[in-house]
Amino acid sequence: MLRNIPPLLSPDLLYTLRAMGHGDEIVIADANFPGSSIGPTCIRADGSTASEVLQAVLTVMPLDSFVPDPALTMQVVGDAEAIPEAVTDFQRIIDQVADNPAPIQSLERFAFYERAADAFTIVQTGERRLYGNIILKKGVIV
């Protein structure tokens, strides 16, 4: 056990977050996301929601303040302007927890998959809400 680290952050996830460098990206994905087949290492967090994992990750990882889009979600297919419940929740968490809060930007579904395939890692959660996926770009520790 460690102090001031959310217990939801497993040893594998803590190791990964520490190994990431500035500009590396992590995907927090819902239960429907193709986390194991898309490319990067997939860390399982089946007992947690994407919102819970996002909040825990942002307590230890800074968002990149040098880019306009440090947080990206997947657009709703057929309605790019729609904002799913999970994304509204993600924005609230970013606004409250992130050291560099930023508005979430979105990508078309297949562009999101391509970006996720180049990420450092994917955390596959048990999130059941549709479009409960977010890509975070790691910032610097000052």
Which residues are catalytically annotated?
22, 64, 113
CA 78 vs CA 33, 46, 75, 109, 127: distances in Å? 18, 28, 9, 10, 22
Tell me the Ramachandran region of residue 81: left when phi exceeds 0, alpha when psi lies from -120 to 50, beta otherwise. Answer: alpha
Query: What letters, b where the CB count within 10 A reaches 16 and e where it falls short, cover 49-87?
Result: bbbbbbbbbbeebbbbeeeeebbbbbbbeeeeeebbebb
